[in-house]
Amino acid sequence: MPIPAIGAIDAVTGSGAVTAATAGATATGGSSFGSALTGAVDNLQQLQSTSDKLAIQAVTGNLDDIHDATLASSRAQVTLELVAGVRNKAVDAFNEIMRMQA
Residue 16 has pLDDT above 90, yes or no: no
Cβ 26 vs Cβ 3: under 8 Å:
no
CB atoms within 10 A of CB 65: 10
Q: What is the pLDDT of residue 52?
A: 96
Mean pLDDT of 14-24: 45
- Return d(Cα 17, Cα 65) in angstroms, integer: 27
pLDDT digits (tens, 9 = 90+) for 92-101: 999 999 999 8
- Return d(Cα 35, Cα 69) in angstroms, integer: 29
More reliable by pLDDT, 77 or 17: 77
- Return d(Cα 37, Cα 35) in angstroms, integer: 5
pLDDT digits (tens, 9 = 90+) for 25-81: 445 566 888 898 899 999 999 999 999 999 999 999 999 999 999 999 999 999 999
How many residues are given for the chain? 102
